[in-house]
Amino acid sequence: MATAISAIPNFDVTQLKNPHNIRVGIVTAQWNNDITGPMEQGALAVLEKAGLIPENIRAASVPGSYELPVAARWMLESGCDAVVCIGCLIKGDTPHFEFISESVAKGLMDLNLQSGKPVIFAVITTLTHEQALDRAGGKLGNKGAEGAEAALHMVQLKQQLLP
């Protein structure tokens, strides 16, 4: 995924072919909602800028990041061409952070490969709340918006490779 420092080169979301035919889901974890809320808004803004029609943008929330993989699967089963999974995990004093981070990453990667559709990992994993804010529309960009860009890039690539 892109960062505020290096965007996806040569990709402009406003130049998609037939954006009105693209269906994208956004699944947002409610845990750390002060972080994930702005990330979701960033993702929605990118999809709207790209020209997707509102009916083809599905948004749902789940309690926490651990629930992202199954909700993403349901989004794909409902007809989405790609899903952006938004979450925020902040390291604490126990190994819980590692278990959840690893499980979510593996679950989303497996879903990518099993479905053949992009399931974007827009889950930020940080050491502090301040680092998370920096990535949710702060000085390091908005990882939700970047996740939506990555989803559209992958949908376009699939259209080019598998017409």
Looking up residue 66, the CATH number of its domain turns out to be 3.40.50.960
The answer as to whether 127 is a domain residue is: yes
The verdict on residue 115 lying in a domain is yes
pLDDT of residue 1: 44
Tell whether 149 is covered by a domain.
yes
Q: Which whole-number Å values give the CA distances from 67 to 2, 61, 73, 86, 144, in the listed order? A: 24, 9, 10, 11, 17
1 located within any domain: no
pTM: 0.92
In a domain, 153, yes or no: yes
Catalytic residue among 20, 96, 129, 153: 96
Number of domains in the chain: 1
In a domain, 2, yes or no: no
- 163 has a pLDDT exceeding 80: no
Dist. CA 54–CA 115, nearest whole Å: 24
Q: Does the annotation mark 96 as catalytic?
A: yes
The reply to whether 17 falls in a domain is no
Asked whether residue 52 is assigned to any structural domain, the reply reads yes
Q: For 99-143, how does the pLDDT look when each residue is reduced to its tens digit (9 = 90+)?
A: 999 999 999 999 999 999 999 999 999 999 999 999 998 999 999
> Tell me: the pLDDT tens digits for 112-123?
999 999 999 999
The domain containing residue 42 runs over which residues? Answer: 22-161
- Residue 31, SS3 per DSSP: coil
| Eight-state DSSP code of residue 11 | -
